[in-house]
Chains A and B, each alone.
Chain A
Amino acid sequence: MAPYLQPRVDGDLRSLLDDRVWLHRLVDALGSPVNLVLPGHVAENVRRFRAVYRARHLSGHIFFAHKANRSQALVRGLAAADAGIDVASLGELRNALAAGFTPERIMATGPKSREFLWLAARAGVIVNADSTTELDALAGILRAHALPRVRVMARLSGFAPTGANMLTRASRFGIPVTGLATLWEVLEKQRDLLDFHGVAYHLDTVGLPEKAAALEGCLHAMDEAGRQGLSPRAIDAGGGFGVSYLADESQWEAWTTELTGAVLGKRPPLTWNGHGYGLRNEGGKLRGMLSVYPGYRTIAGPAYLDRLLDTESATHRRTLGTLLLDSMYDLHVEPGRALLDQCGAVLLRVEEVRDDGHGETLVRLAGNGGDIALEQHGVLMDPLLVPRGEPGPEEPAGVYLTGNLCLEADLITRRKVFLSRQPEPGDLLVFVNTAGYLMDFSAGEALMQPSARTVAAYRGRDGWQWCLDEQYWPVTGREETA
């Protein structure tokens, strides 16, 4: 059995990929690579998150973390849905305002320039502050420009689980929970300018216990705020709900076991130059840590939020979801990757197929590692082969994918990928489920190679239609007949 890592493809994306001719026409018209996004599906993902809220009677906003994708169509699709948006730069904020988000549906996060702070304040969006210094700077801008009071949240960090000492990765962001006194002072001092909305966290971890400790820490900080005479309303639980990329858990298990074997020299390599993805062989022992995204996850996205809210607080012996509801707090979340699950794909044309002289097949694509950031984000999965002509018989082929830059390191992924058959020049390779971070997060125009056009696909009167990303608006042209 070839060590496949076949991606999970559902719903709309699946139906779109079944149309071989349609996909080829698209790349013929626009050139390789093409980013395909599905603004209709992102609204479906919002509904799934919302269902978790409903089941618990919780209220609050689902803020899409814009940084996961630059597409206008996706942002406009979200503006039409029951969602807010988390913007982390001046450009993202302008995009959000232009897409029709009203200020109470916009949350400004991350490190902020003065221009970003001014526009956020002028527009009246919620400012999620990283530090007390930022709150003071914001108050300064409000005073100098005679702007109205702004809703603010304070991002906290440094939460510890009960009974243990957490050796967390130090975060550069947030106000340490052990030093909240300064926060209360600033909020008191700037009371007439800053309307304290609540506390926030965002943890870059897949670990549920750490997130549960943070959420519980936020509940306690809210209580402390109440004792300080403040009346905050919401807790923002950040993003990081995750996606399960693979269809089949057993493939993930088999591949990771085979990689272990390859690193220990017990089987031929599965990766370019025997790359270990963080694992090393030291005297026959396995060292290091597998440093890739967990390809198959049993609990991801809305189910992860559900599990988090079902986690029992160690101090109160009640679930975190119940405590939030009991306390009448709104719950905000900022999912990026999870809201874009099954919302896009990157299409690349095969330029050349050759033998490297050592028995490996190299497939050169019209695109590079900047266009499809699998390697940069440690996501491992096979692309799907969409042949130009009639597909021949299946015959699994393991190949390495190289890019269009004249750099030795320009591999689309260092993993040997497995396709249903050997590709030929002119065929397409489709990297599915790449809308979250893997699409245009770091695309550039190295070597003046063309960067991908992004197109939005939507269901029209006669099946799938497409338009350029910036042309997409969530109107159908049939509204007046309704």
Chain B
Amino acid sequence: MRYDSVTDVIGDTPLVRIDAAVHGLRNIDLYAKMELLNPFGSVKDRAAWNMVRDRIAGAAERGDTVVELSSGNTAKALALIAAMHGLPFRSVTNRMKVPEIKDLLLLLGAQIDELPGRSECLDPDDTDDPLTRMYHTVSADGGGYLHTDQYFNELNVDAHTHGTGREIIADLGGRAPDYFIACVGTAGSSTGVARALRAHDPATTVVGLVAQKSDFIPGIRNIDEVHEVGLFDPGTYDTIEAVSSDEAIDGLLTLVRRCGTLAGPTGGGAYQGAVRYLRGIDETLTERRTAVFIVCDRVESYLSYLRERRPELFQQPARAQTLRTLTDGDLAAARTIGVADAEEWIDKESPLVVDLRSPFAYRALHIDRSINIVDDLFGEMLHGGLPFGRRQPVLLVCPVGEKSARYAALLTRMGHQDVRSLAGGVIAWRDAGAELVRD
């Protein structure tokens, strides 16, 4: 396959059947619409390109900035497209909740504008709403912005009526599926696909999935927020259901571990929501039905989101020489030394003084001639064995003498013969009036 531009690669994604042994539905064939295979990685590639394709040349001539309210996939696609045309891209967002996506946008050269959190000491008559202010600036004609306005732009829906929806019908041999299930963010994909399917067969059932309130699934809205969306029309959906982030992650794990599909949380949510919705129907069926859900994007951008919610998925293998394996006996065997004695010891024997604090704090003030190895790094070094000889005298220093005592215990257990921890740490040292330097 040869293309002139990467934007020509957008769309025509495959429809892949999910093995019945995985979903357990007996009378329903369940298909995944693989939007994650779009060139920029998500369902939003279609909307992004459709919203700018006729305006980008003009914008390039004027040198406009492309701007969108998005902290996710739309921003990513627009950043790439804008950059291809030599235009800057600004992403305005409430909060960049997914650090990988923020880093990625920065890598792509986007400018990120974050809106402030809600006021703690509230003035209910405050009219200074930064979002409204922002909206006025970017929407003004001739203001130097190409504002794609994805929550209100019909071209977002169009992309899916003409693309995603028609492709599904074609891939099912000219039939619309009996059930279509999708997560709702801007409502562009679900509305567009629903239009195409219903035009073909008005009996198609459309299920919209939103996030549970006070829960967070990146890319989709909760049941209240959805009413803020210009493209959202409750009439589009036969039913709207909530999925929790827990369910979304369960679904994601099924897709990545059993279906060879690297789905992100909303793909997982759509799968789990689909199976939950279809299970009841399945039991009453006597003939075969088809259902389609959308896998919106890929899992790789959500590792920290997953780590925060399911830390057990990322368990590191156990290691032998760590602070966690210290016993009370190990701790009791460690030697500490007070400030006055430590000063004398340093004078007489010049022990290696290791300061375990952060380089930032060390640089500001430290004990003269000490070296700085931040505790995390020191811990890493000890996995490989002692980083100095057994008889080399060592004084360990931390802020209050707690961490240094633990490392002294670990070194002693590992066979070191002359390690001491500064009692009370560098704070006791300072408070005793002993010398600290900044070099």
A and B from one complex: yes
Contacts of A166 in B (CB 8 A): 113-114, 116
Flag whether A161 is at the interface (Cβ < 8 A).
Answer: yes
Q: Which residues of B100-125 are within 8 A (CB) of A?
A: 102-103, 106, 111-122, 124
Contacts of B112 in A (CB 8 A): 163-165
**Which of B117, B227, B364 is close to A206, meaning CB atoms less than 8 Å apart?**
B117
Flag whether A51 is at the interface (Cβ < 8 A).
Answer: no
State the Cβ distance, A402 to closest chain B Cβ, in Å. 19
The reply to whether A242 and B120 contact each other, CB–CB distance below 8 Å, is yes
The reply to whether A378 and B360 contact each other, CB–CB distance below 8 Å, is no
The reply to whether A169 and B120 contact each other, CB–CB distance below 8 Å, is no
Q: Which residues of A415-440 are within 8 A (CB) of B?
A: 437
**Which of A167, A205, A288, A377 is close to B118, meaning CB atoms less than 8 Å apart?**
A205
Given contacts A166-B114, A240-B121, contact A327 B228 (CB under 8 A): no
**Which of B111, B115, B119, B400 is close to A204, meaning CB atoms less than 8 Å apart?**
B119
Given contacts A257-B213, A322-B358, contact A167 B116 (CB under 8 A): yes
Given contacts A57-B402, A325-B399, contact A226 B102 (CB under 8 A): no
**Which of A57, A239, A292, A316 is close to B360, meaning CB atoms less than 8 Å apart?**
A316
Given contacts A287-B228, A323-B360, A328-B365, contact A167 B130 (CB under 8 A): yes
Q: Which residues of B355-401 are within 8 A (CB) of A?
A: 357-365, 374, 376, 399-400
**Please, how many angstroms separate the alpha-carbon atoms of A161 and B114 in the complex?**
9
Contacts of A375 in B (CB 8 A): 124
Flag whether B134 is at the interface (Cβ < 8 A).
Answer: yes
**Please, how many angstroms separate the alpha-carbon atoms of A323 and B96 in the complex?**
24
State the Cβ distance, A322 to closest chain B Cβ, in Å. 7
Q: Which residue of A lies closest to B374 (CB)?
A: A318
**Please, how many angstroms separate the alpha-carbon atoms of A316 and B360 in the complex?**
8
**Please, how many angstroms separate the alpha-carbon atoms of A291 and B106 in the complex?**
32
The reply to whether A226 and B364 contact each other, CB–CB distance below 8 Å, is yes
Q: Which of A239, A277, A293, A375 has the most CB of B within 10 A?
A: A293
**Which of A161, A293, A318 is close to B122, meaning CB atoms less than 8 Å apart?**
A293
**Please, how many angstroms separate the alpha-carbon atoms of A242 and B102 in the complex?**
28
Contacts of B283 in A (CB 8 A): none
Flag whether B426 is at the interface (Cβ < 8 A).
Answer: yes
The reply to whether A205 and B120 contact each other, CB–CB distance below 8 Å, is yes
The reply to whether A206 and B120 contact each other, CB–CB distance below 8 Å, is yes
**Please, how many angstroms separate the alpha-carbon atoms of A161 and B119 in the complex?**
18
The reply to whether A206 and B214 contact each other, CB–CB distance below 8 Å, is no
The reply to whether B102 and A277 contact each other, CB–CB distance below 8 Å, is no
Flag whether B438 is at the interface (Cβ < 8 A).
Answer: yes
Flag whether A445 is at the interface (Cβ < 8 A).
Answer: no
State the Cβ distance, A264 to closest chain B Cβ, in Å. 6
Binary contact track B409-439/A, C-beta < 8 Å → 1, others 0: 0000000000000000011001000000010
Binary contact track B317-344/A, C-beta < 8 Å → 1, others 0: 0000000000000000000000000000
State the Cβ distance, B213 to closest chain A Cβ, in Å. 4
Flag whether A102 is at the interface (Cβ < 8 A).
Answer: no
Flag whether B129 is at the interface (Cβ < 8 A).
Answer: yes
Q: Which residue of B lies closest to A281 (CB)?
A: B227
Q: Which residue of A lies closest to B213 (CB)?
A: A253
**Please, how many angstroms separate the alpha-carbon atoms of A264 and B134 in the complex?**
25
Q: Which residue of A lies closest to B112 (CB)?
A: A164
The reply to whether B358 and A326 contact each other, CB–CB distance below 8 Å, is yes
Count contacts on B: residues with CB < 8 A to the other chain.
51
State the Cβ distance, B142 to closest chain A Cβ, in Å. 22
Flag whether A285 is at the interface (Cβ < 8 A).
Answer: yes
Binary contact track B222-237/A, C-beta < 8 Å → 1, others 0: 0110011110000000
Q: Which residues of A20-62 are within 8 A (CB) of B?
A: 57
Q: Which residues of A127-157 are within 8 A (CB) of B?
A: none
**Please, how many angstroms separate the alpha-carbon atoms of A278 and B115 in the complex?**
17
The reply to whether A163 and B400 contact each other, CB–CB distance below 8 Å, is no
Flag whether B307 is at the interface (Cβ < 8 A).
Answer: no
**Which of B114, B120, B357, B438 is close to A326, meaning CB atoms less than 8 Å apart?**
B357
Contacts of A204 in B (CB 8 A): 119-121
**Which of A257, A278, A337, A376 is close to B224, meaning CB atoms less than 8 Å apart?**
A257
**Which of B103, B118, B124, B228 is close to A285, meaning CB atoms less than 8 Å apart?**
B228
The reply to whether A318 and B117 contact each other, CB–CB distance below 8 Å, is no
The reply to whether B106 and A226 contact each other, CB–CB distance below 8 Å, is no
Flag whether B54 is at the interface (Cβ < 8 A).
Answer: no
State the Cβ distance, A253 to closest chain B Cβ, in Å. 4
Q: Which of B92, B114, B126, B365 has the most CB of A within 10 A?
A: B114
The reply to whether B227 and A260 contact each other, CB–CB distance below 8 Å, is yes
The reply to whether B227 and A286 contact each other, CB–CB distance below 8 Å, is yes
State the Cβ distance, A437 to closest chain B Cβ, in Å. 7
Given contacts A57-B399, A57-B400, A207-B95, contact A169 B114 (CB under 8 A): no
The reply to whether A327 and B364 contact each other, CB–CB distance below 8 Å, is yes
The reply to whether A260 and B224 contact each other, CB–CB distance below 8 Å, is yes
Q: Which residue of A lies closest to B225 (CB)?
A: A286
Contacts of B117 in A (CB 8 A): 205-210
State the Cβ distance, A336 to closest chain B Cβ, in Å. 8
Flag whether A223 is at the interface (Cβ < 8 A).
Answer: yes
Flag whether B238 is at the interface (Cβ < 8 A).
Answer: no
Flag whether A401 is at the interface (Cβ < 8 A).
Answer: no
Given contacts A167-B115, A226-B438, contact A326 B103 (CB under 8 A): no
The reply to whether A377 and B358 contact each other, CB–CB distance below 8 Å, is no
State the Cβ distance, B390 to closest chain A Cβ, in Å. 28
Flag whether B131 is at the interface (Cβ < 8 A).
Answer: yes
Contacts of A325 in B (CB 8 A): 399-400
Q: Which residue of B lies closest to A211 (CB)?
A: B117
State the Cβ distance, A193 to closest chain B Cβ, in Å. 25
State the Cβ distance, A206 to closest chain B Cβ, in Å. 5
Q: Which residue of B lies closest to A322 (CB)?
A: B358
Q: Which residue of B lies closest to A315 (CB)?
A: B360
Flag whether B287 is at the interface (Cβ < 8 A).
Answer: no
**Please, how many angstroms separate the alpha-carbon atoms of A57 and B362 in the complex?**
18
State the Cβ distance, A65 to closest chain B Cβ, in Å. 10
The reply to whether A377 and B122 contact each other, CB–CB distance below 8 Å, is yes
**Please, how many angstroms separate the alpha-carbon atoms of A318 and B377 in the complex?**
12
**Please, how many angstroms separate the alpha-carbon atoms of A159 and B117 in the complex?**
14
Q: Which residue of A lies closest to B120 (CB)?
A: A240
Contacts of A481 in B (CB 8 A): none
Given contacts A164-B102, A166-B114, A326-B399, contact A318 B358 (CB under 8 A): yes
Q: Which of B103, B106, B359, B361 has the most CB of A within 10 A?
A: B361
Q: Which of B115, B134, B358, B426 has the most CB of A within 10 A?
A: B358
The reply to whether B360 and A326 contact each other, CB–CB distance below 8 Å, is yes
Contacts of B228 in A (CB 8 A): 285-287
**Please, how many angstroms separate the alpha-carbon atoms of A376 and B124 in the complex?**
7
Flag whether B128 is at the interface (Cβ < 8 A).
Answer: yes
Q: Which of A167, A256, A323, A377 has the most CB of B within 10 A?
A: A167
Q: Which residues of A243-275 are within 8 A (CB) of B?
A: 249, 253, 256-257, 260, 264
**Please, how many angstroms separate the alpha-carbon atoms of A437 and B124 in the complex?**
14
Flag whether A294 is at the interface (Cβ < 8 A).
Answer: yes
Q: Which residue of A lies closest to B228 (CB)?
A: A286
The reply to whether B358 and A289 contact each other, CB–CB distance below 8 Å, is no
Binary contact track B56-72/A, C-beta < 8 Å → 1, others 0: 00000000000000000
Flag whether A471 is at the interface (Cβ < 8 A).
Answer: no
Q: Which residue of B lies closest to A225 (CB)?
A: B364
Contacts of A376 in B (CB 8 A): 124
Flag whether A386 is at the interface (Cβ < 8 A).
Answer: no
Instruction: Name the 6 nearest CB pairs between A and B, nearest first.
Output: A207-B117, A326-B361, A326-B357, A164-B112, A327-B361, A240-B120
Instruction: List 15 other contacts, CB 8 Å, given A166-B116, A256-B213, A277-B124.
Output: A163-B102, A163-B103, A163-B106, A165-B114, A167-B134, A204-B119, A204-B120, A205-B118, A206-B120, A209-B114, A242-B120, A326-B362, A328-B361, A337-B120, A377-B121
Q: A residues touching B (Cβ–Cβ < 8 Å)?
A: 57, 161, 163-169, 203-210, 219, 222-223, 226, 239-240, 242, 249, 253, 256-257, 260, 264, 277-278, 285-289, 291-294, 298, 316, 318, 322-323, 325-328, 337, 375-378, 437
- Could you pull out 5 A-B pairs where Cβ atoms are within 8 angstroms? A240-B121, A249-B214, A285-B228, A286-B224, A322-B358
